[in-house]
Structure 1
């Protein structure tokens, strides 16, 4: 679903925002048993439709006015309950909106509802045992991915032009890969995190799902920018993320090959025994496609690549302990009271959350702090410096999104290291990254997803959008 086409229909009054939202809500009612949504408020949808129609009458509309979307339930919304996927917050009503949601509301974007997710973003499969397990849009027996698994279905089925989730260790790119859509994770600090329930504060990023890269660029134009309420945001000049579309990579030269001059970094460490044959052959195919477009392949070295998941787990678990502890006035620091008082709300957390919480408590305890947590922070600094040096020799780094093509929803013992191995890199470094789908490989009644991931330098989102646009125009 293209935003420009949708905007033309709405502005020419061939399609009313109310009728469009009504159509989508009917489709949602037919799939409620698949657990893609946690909260839907029909009265609030009506109010938003009236506001967007007033903007159209007063000629104050833009490309996003009257367009329906959905948000992951980790973002605070004033008029709809926010649960963060947890039974602990099932009746929580926030008194404010997230900053980027306020920006979209002012433009007349219609919030259809809040999507299902892993509890407090801890997980990779949206196996939410309280709100239900979200299904994959392509295969019934596969997971939708996580933790933003509920946000991808309507986008994958062309019912919504875009949806917004959060990415801590691949929570946007992984479900995008498994459901064959684009998952875009921008630079850390480009979009305000104010109003977002924190999992790992130094790695959480707002991400965008869509099938069209043009949609993503228009959404980024609307929600990026400095926020006085979030000190991690950057005060940069406002830019247009569509400015490189239909242009050559070398802007001062005219080339028939649009990506002539692009340098793609690839590491030999990516080609190891954790690959499946389909993923390895697909990456080789993608590299050949980029060479056809004029790009050049450069080999780079990624330091501590085999330890990246370990460093990510140490830092994220430690920060999760700090973030969840505040929900019960530091009662959680006393494990003895936790095991004695079974009525305590912490017993309502999923096993995955409990495990991460107690691992985090162990890692930041007084005698283990320097041994694990501070050492991981030092290694993280070395990884960041290594990536900065690599971008002197290449423009982007290409790598797989996942180590597997699909994940059976019944396989709870799947090795989580294989899931986060390639996606957690950009979260540790804060670099922008995007998962791009390739053609689907069909075997009998089962669909194998094929795709790849590219990582760019800091604040190079416009260039990444240019690369995706040129690649999809020819090969997808």
Structure 2
């Protein structure tokens, strides 16, 4: 769904924000039992529609006024319950909004509801034991991906122009691959995380789902920026993320090869670790397409490749334990404190969360085990320095999102190394990364989409948007 088309319909009064929201709600009523939403508040949707219509009457509207969207339930919302996908926080009402949500609310965006997710963002299949399993939008027998699997469904079905989730180790890019949409994970610190339930504080990033790269650039213009409440955000000059669209890489209007001068890094180790033949051939086709557009392929070496998943798991588990253990003490629900004993607390957690929690507990429970955590942090710095050197010789890195196409949502035996191997690296380094669908596979029993991932330099979002725009225009 094109955001600009919706804007023109609303601006020229072809449709009212209230009617647009009503139309979408009617469309999704039949799919509510599929567990894509945790919370939908109809009275709050009405209030938002009236506010957006007021902005239109006063001529204070903008590109996002009256546009419907949905958010992952890991972001605090003042008017709707925030559960983080957990039974522990089933009735929790936050007393504040996330920073980016306040920015969107002020522009007149309409929040349709809060989406389903893996508990506390821990998981890769969106099989939530308490709120239900989320199905894939292409085939109900397969996983929608996690942990932001609920956020991607309406975007995939062209019912919403965009949706917002979070990415800790691939939680944006993996569901976008499985549901045939673009998943955008920006540079760590570009968007404020204030109001977001933390999984791994040093890796959590707010991300965007959409089928149109122009939609993503418009949303980035609205929600990026420094936040006093979040010390990890950067105080940078405000920029327009659409500024390179319809221009070639060297900003030369004569050359028909739009990406001439672009250097693409490809790791032989990454490439040799693709076990699925169709995924490997897909990446080869993509590299040929980029060469056709004028790009140059450069082979690079990524240090500690075999240990990336281990380092990610050590750091994320330790930080998860630190973030979740506070819920073992007390909760504030409607100004009333509820205390949980240890037995009730652990019984309320899902299997994936328990496993991560206990690993984190082991790693930081004693000085002896803490050495593993601190060693992982040191290796993380070396990986970061290695990527800085790589980006002296290349502009972007291309790699697969996963080494497989799709898997069944009940398959818990799939190795986590296969899931996180290609996605966790950009979270460890904080680099921007985007998952782009490339083609669809039509089998007898199911459909699946294939795609690829681009990692760019820090704060190079505008350039990444330019690359994706040109690629999609020529090959998709």
> Deviations 1:18-41 (Å, cap 9, x if unpaired)?
011011111221001110000000
Aligned counterpart, 1:155: 155
In the TM superposition, what is the alpha-carbon distance from 1:351 to its structure 2 partner?
Answer: 1.2
> Deviations 1:179-218 (Å, cap 9, x if unpaired)?
0100000000000000000000000000000000000000
Aligned counterpart, 1:337: none
In the TM superposition, what is the alpha-carbon distance from 1:253 to its structure 2 partner?
Answer: 6.2
CA distance in 1, matches of 2:129, 2:467: 39
CA distance in 2, matches of 1:55, 1:409: 43
Aligned counterpart, 2:82: 82
Q: Secondary structure at the match of 1:391?
A: helix
> Deviations 1:272-292 (Å, cap 9, x if unpaired)?
254200100000000000000
Aligned counterpart, 1:281: 281
What pairs up with 1:130-209 in 2 under 5 angstroms?
Answer: 130-209=130-209
* Alignment check: 8 A CA contact 1:283 1:400 kept: yes
CA distance in 1, matches of 2:376, 2:2: 43
Tell me the TM-score normalised to structure 2 length: 0.97
* Alignment check: 8 A CA contact 2:155 2:209 kept: yes
What pairs up with 1:60-459 in 2 under 5 angstroms?
Answer: 60-252=60-252, 254-329=254-329, 344-459=344-459
Of the structure 1 ranges 404-413 and 196-205, higher mean CA displacement relative to structure 2 is found in 404-413
> Deviations 1:427-469 (Å, cap 9, x if unpaired)?
0000000000011011113112210000000000000000000
Q: Secondary structure at the match of 1:282?
A: helix
Q: Secondary structure at the match of 2:91?
A: coil
Q: Secondary structure at the match of 2:439?
A: coil
In the TM superposition, what is the alpha-carbon distance from 1:410 to its structure 2 partner?
Answer: 2.7
* Alignment check: 8 A CA contact 2:185 2:207 kept: yes
Tell me the TM-score normalised to structure 1 length: 0.97
* Alignment check: 8 A CA contact 1:141 1:410 kept: no
CA distance in 2, matches of 1:226, 1:342: 39
Q: Secondary structure at the match of 2:163?
A: strand
Q: Secondary structure at the match of 2:245?
A: coil
CA distance in 1, matches of 2:463, 2:247: 10
In the TM superposition, what is the alpha-carbon distance from 1:345 to its structure 2 partner?
Answer: 2.6
CA distance in 2, matches of 1:134, 1:178: 12
> Deviations 1:127-162 (Å, cap 9, x if unpaired)?
001000000000111100000000011000000000
Aligned counterpart, 1:3: 3
* Alignment check: 8 A CA contact 2:328 2:341 kept: no
Q: Secondary structure at the match of 1:218?
A: helix
> Deviations 1:63-109 (Å, cap 9, x if unpaired)?
11000000000000000000000000000000000000000000000
CA distance in 2, matches of 1:172, 1:130: 22
- Structure 1, unmatched stretches of 5+, are 332-339
In the TM superposition, what is the alpha-carbon distance from 1:367 to its structure 2 partner?
Answer: 3.0
* Alignment check: 8 A CA contact 2:274 2:280 kept: no
CA distance in 1, matches of 2:298, 2:375: 31
- Structure 2, unmatched stretches of 5+, are 332-339
Aligned counterpart, 1:334: none
Q: 1:314 to 1:276 in 2, by over 3 A?
A: same
CA distance in 2, matches of 1:272, 1:367: 38
In the TM superposition, what is the alpha-carbon distance from 1:341 to its structure 2 partner?
Answer: 5.7
CA distance in 1, matches of 2:119, 2:453: 26
What CA RMSD, in Å, does the superposition of the two structures yield over aligned residues?
A: 1.4
CA distance in 1, matches of 2:291, 2:224: 32
> Deviations 1:46-67 (Å, cap 9, x if unpaired)?
0000000000111111111000
> Deviations 1:198-242 (Å, cap 9, x if unpaired)?
000000000000000000000000000000000000000000000
Aligned counterpart, 1:466: 466
* Alignment check: 8 A CA contact 2:70 2:164 kept: yes
User: How many pairs does the alignment contain?
Assistant: 468
What pairs up with 1:12-23 in 2 under 5 angstroms?
Answer: 12-23=12-23
Aligned counterpart, 1:24: 24
CA distance in 1, matches of 2:198, 2:48: 27
* Alignment check: 8 A CA contact 2:85 2:128 kept: yes
* Alignment check: 8 A CA contact 1:308 1:421 kept: yes
Of the structure 1 ranges 266-275 and 424-433, higher mean CA displacement relative to structure 2 is found in 266-275
CA distance in 2, matches of 1:207, 1:131: 22
* Alignment check: 8 A CA contact 1:117 1:149 kept: yes
